[in-house]
């Protein structure tokens, strides 16, 4: 393995750009969010943030990134999966609601965000569609020849993942306020959207990714090009389904807790009976006042 890395410059192995990004993000979070006392950042949110930053650097700034780019297709799949299904939700969860309320309060960015998140389903289609297209062999082999084009596609995938997770987690209701039912359905169908490409990678019996086929076995001799593809599909589906399962469990749990809190609550227009919300119209209210 050491002899393989001698073919790469030091900056490829250490990732100074990724390190700078990680340091800048940490500096921003500490000085902008942690130090001001009015944001009430919890220890859990701090853990989420620094875990996300560490994972980001491990995936993008260490020799693992060289392996993902040049030697193992499964490493690339793991890199993208960690960024999309672990780093992005952890980063969003690390942001306190008070900070987001201030960040979007009466600002043009609030109008833009509301416009983006008002229609969540196109975002789901765009994210899962781009991930699927990215892993299609003919498209992947074409863009892999141009470093900038591959970098652009990966950044776009991660950006769409961020927007998709924002809808699922919904850290601020000021710019998006979707029901628990809608968000749970969103998670379920989003998980289904990536099934085809995951199954394709798992069942295909021919090597399809030329860049990795040429170097198969150099890093791990027993990992042939076909096994590498199958491992890539397994990692993609495992991380995707695990993260979505956790999100779905959390949404259903919070939905159930809210229904328990609303059970029996009464106002002029609403009755809640065993979790069922009943809206009263004028006729219902008139009939309610009549004696039988």
For 15: left if phi > 0, alpha if psi spans -120 to 50, otherwise beta; the answer is left
Percent above pLDDT 70 for the chain: 85
Query: Hunting for tokens 């995938």 — which residue is that?
Result: 157
Highest mean pLDDT among 83-92, 176-185, 264-273, 281-290: 83-92
pLDDT for residue 119 is more than 60: yes
pLDDT tens column, 57-91: 999 988 899 899 888 999 999 999 999 999 999 99
pLDDT for residue 258 is more than 60: yes
Give the CA dihedral 227, 228, 232, 235, nearest 10 degrees. Answer: 70
How many beta carbons lie within 10 A of that of residue 15, not counting itself?
Answer: 21
What is the mean predicted confidence (pLDDT) over 148-163? Answer: 92
Containing structural domain, residue 150: 2-289
Residue 255: band (very low, low, confident or very high) from pLDDT cuts 50, 70, 90 = confident
Which of these ranges, 32-46, 69-83, 237-251, has the smallest mean pLDDT?
32-46
Pick from 49, 47, 79, 48: which is nearest to 62 by CA? 79
C-alpha to C-alpha distance for 275 and 17, rounded to whole angstroms: 52
Structure token pair of residue 115: 């416009």
Tell me the β-bridge partners of 271: 266, 278
pLDDT for residue 292 is more than 70: no
Residue 247: band (very low, low, confident or very high) from pLDDT cuts 50, 70, 90 = very high
Helices in the chain by DSSP H: which ranges? 2-5, 10-14, 16-29, 43-60, 63-70, 73-82, 88-93, 97-104, 108-117, 120-135, 137-143, 147-169, 180-193, 195-203, 210-213, 225-262, 282-289
pLDDT tens column, 206-237: 888 988 888 887 888 888 999 999 999 999 99
Domain total in the chain: 1
- The answer to whether the CB of 186 falls within 8 A of the CB of 163 is no
At residue 278, φ and ψ (nearest 5 deg) are: -115, 120
Decide the pairing of beta strands 270-273 and 276-279: antiparallel
Pick from 66, 53, 72, 65: which is nearest to 218 by CA? 72
Q: Is 38 helix (H, G, I), strand (E, B) or coil?
A: helix
pLDDT value, residue 48: 96
pLDDT for residue 107 is more than 80: no
C-alpha to C-alpha distance for 7 and 267, rounded to whole angstroms: 72
């Amino acid at each position: 393995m050491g002899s393989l890395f001698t073919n790469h410059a030091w900056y490829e192995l250490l990732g100074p750009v990724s390190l700078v990004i990680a340091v800048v993000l940490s500096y921003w979070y500490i000085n902008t969010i942690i130090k001001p006392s009015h944001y009430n950042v919890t220890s859990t949110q701090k853990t989420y943030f620094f875990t996300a930053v560490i994972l980001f650097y491990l995936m993008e700034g260490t020799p693992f990134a060289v392996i993902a780019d040049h030697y193992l297709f499964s490493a690339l799949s793991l890199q993208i999966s960690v960024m999309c299904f672990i780093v992005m939700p952890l980063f969003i969860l690390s942001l306190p609601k008070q900070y987001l309320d201030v960040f979007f309060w009466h600002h043009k960015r609030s109008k833009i965000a509301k416009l983006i998140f008002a229609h969540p389903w196109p975002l789901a289609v765009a994210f899962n569609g781009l991930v699927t297209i990215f892993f299609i062999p003919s498209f992947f082999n074409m863009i892999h020849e141009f470093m900038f084009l591959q970098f652009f596609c990966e950044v776009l995938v991660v950006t769409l993942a961020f927007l998709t997770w924002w809808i699922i987690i919904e850290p601020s209701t000021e710019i998006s306020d979707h029901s628990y039912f809608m968000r749970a359905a969103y998670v379920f169908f989003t998980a289904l959207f990536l099934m085809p490409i995951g199954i394709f990678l798992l069942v295909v019996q021919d090597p399809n990714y030329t860049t990795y086929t040429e170097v198969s076995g150099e890093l791990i001799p027993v990992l042939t090009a076909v096994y590498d593809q199958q491992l890539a599909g397994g990692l993609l589906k495992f991380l995707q389904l695990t993260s979505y399962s956790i999100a779905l469990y959390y949404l259903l749990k919070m939905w159930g807790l809210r229904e328990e809190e609303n059970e029996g609550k009464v106002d002029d227009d609403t009755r809640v009976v065993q979790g069922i919300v009943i809206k009263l119209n004028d006729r219902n209210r008139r009939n309610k006042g009549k004696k039988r």
